[in-house]
Structure 1
C-alpha cells in the first residue's frame, strides 16, 4: 500500500512547552540538532510506502528552519479540519492519505510501514491507532499518557490517521463538530449517547463497540487499529514529553 502524507504543523507554541523552548511554532521546538517536525518528515521519508508529502505550516516561520525538499508547503487555515482540507487540495483523491501531527518525533520508517501493513488487513475509510499501556511503558520507561480502560485492556490514542480522501467533503463537518465539543463534557455526552458514556465509565466497552460508535457517528467505515508501535501515541505536548523525546533521540 503506497499512500500520500499530510503533516500538520500550524500550532503556535503558546502552551506548556513555551516554558522550556521559546520556538514560535510547536514543530520548531528543538530536539537535539533538529526541530521536532523534522523528525516526523524524516520518519515519513524513511518509509517505503509514502509518496507525496504536504506540510501545513506557516511558510515564513517553519519553512526556513527545515529540510523539506520535495515537500509541498501549505499555510495553515486555522481549524485542524480546514488545514487537512487545504492539504488535500494538493493531493490526488485516488490514493489514501496518512495524516500525522508534527509532535510525534519518535516515528520511523519501520513504524510507518508497520502501521500501514496493519491497516491493509482491513477495508475502511478511516483508520485510527490505539496503543496498549503495557506496550508503551515496556518500550518507553517513564512515558506519561492519558489512557482509557476498555474491555481488552488500557489504551492511549495515536496521532497517525489513515484516511480515504473520497470521504473528506462528507465527513469533515461531522468531525469538526465532534472536535469542537470535545472539551464540553455534557455536550460530548449528548453526542455520544449517555448509555455509551456510562459503559465507557464502567470500563465495559470493547474496541469493536468504540469502532462501531465512531463509524455510525461520522457515517463512515472506521477501523480502530490495535497498534504495537507506541511511537504513534507519544506526542510531545508537555515538558515531560519533551524530556523523554530528547532522552531517546539523543545521539550516542
Structure 2
C-alpha cells in the first residue's frame, strides 16, 4: 500500500467527476436532534438559518469534481423539498436500515455508478475546497476505497474546545470526516464489512480486534500506526484501502449534538464577518 495520501493540491485535468451519495436518513421519531429542533429529520435542522442538507447540496453544486448527486433518505418528500430549496438537481432514493446498507443498495439496486463520493447530510461545513481535495487525493491514491480523516493536531489547533471522538494510533490521533470514496467495485467489500461493524465505531479495541489478533495486539501496545491499520484492513478484506488526511479542521466537524450546532454556527458567523471585512469573530475557542 502507498503512503498516506495528503493530496497534491493541483487539479488533474483528466479527472472525471465522481458521482455523489448523500446519506440523509432520519433515525425515527426518537432522533434526539430532530426532536430538540422540532423537525422531522436531522437533515432539515437549520444551521445559520439554512437546513443542513441544503448546505451540503449547495457545496456539492460548486465543485466541478462532483457529478450526479443522489440523496438517500427514508422520506422522499423531505428530500425533494430540500433539494428544491437548494436549487440543485438531485435524485432521491430510498434509504435502507443502516448507512452502509444504504450505500450498497444505492449501487446494487438503484444503479448509482462508481466512482462514488459518499458524505452525510449533517456535514454543514462542507465546501468546495474540502470536496476537491478529497476527490483529487482519492483518485490519485489508486485505492479501491478511501476515507477522509483529520488529525487531532489539525482540529484542536483551530478549535481547541471542540469535542471530537479520536481514534488513537501510534503517533496519530484522528477523527473521521464523513467523506468516503468507492473507486472500484472491490471497495464494496469494505462497505459490507462496515455494515457488520457499525455498532463498534465508538469502541476502538473491539473495532480493531475485528481485523484479527495481530492488529489488536499492536493497537493495545500503542504500536499500530494509521498506515499499518489500513494495511491490515486491506489484507483482511482483500482490497486496497487508504486514508486521506484532510488539512481542514472543519472537515471533521459534523452536527451530532446541540454543541456541534453552536460551534458550526459560530464558524459560519466568522466566515461571514471575514467576507464582509469585519473583525474576525471567535469560533469554538
How high is the TM-score relative to the length of structure 1? 0.88
Q: How does 1:127-146 map to 2 (within 5 A)?
A: 127-146=146-165
- Aligned counterpart, 2:70: 54
Q: CA deviation at 1:74?
A: 0.7
Distance 1:184 1:114, change over 3 A: closer
Q: Choose the corresponding residue for 1:119, options 138, 154, 163.
A: 138
Aligned positions, number = 251
Q: Deviations over 1:8-66 (max 9, x none)?
A: 00023634424631211111111122111111111111112011000111212332244
Determine if contact 2:139/2:183 at 8 Å carries over to the other structure.
Answer: no
What is the SS of the residue equivalent to 1:192? coil
Structure 1 vs Structure 2 CA RMSD? 2.5
Q: Deviations over 1:205-250 (max 9, x none)?
A: 1121111122123221101122212232212111111110111123
Determine if contact 1:54/1:90 at 8 Å carries over to the other structure.
Answer: no
Structure 1 position 102 matched with structure 2 position 121: yes
Residue ranges of structure 2 left out of the alignment (5+ in a row): 1-14, 274-285
Structure 1 position 197 matched with structure 2 position 190: no
- Aligned counterpart, 1:17: 33
Runs of 4+ in 1 over 3 A off after TM superposition: 13-16, 89-93, 168-173, 180-190
Determine if contact 1:104/1:231 at 8 Å carries over to the other structure.
Answer: no
Structure 1 position 6 matched with structure 2 position 25: no
Determine if contact 2:208/2:216 at 8 Å carries over to the other structure.
Answer: yes
- Aligned counterpart, 2:99: 80
C-alpha distance in 2 between matches for 1:239 and 1:5 = 27
- Aligned counterpart, 1:64: 81
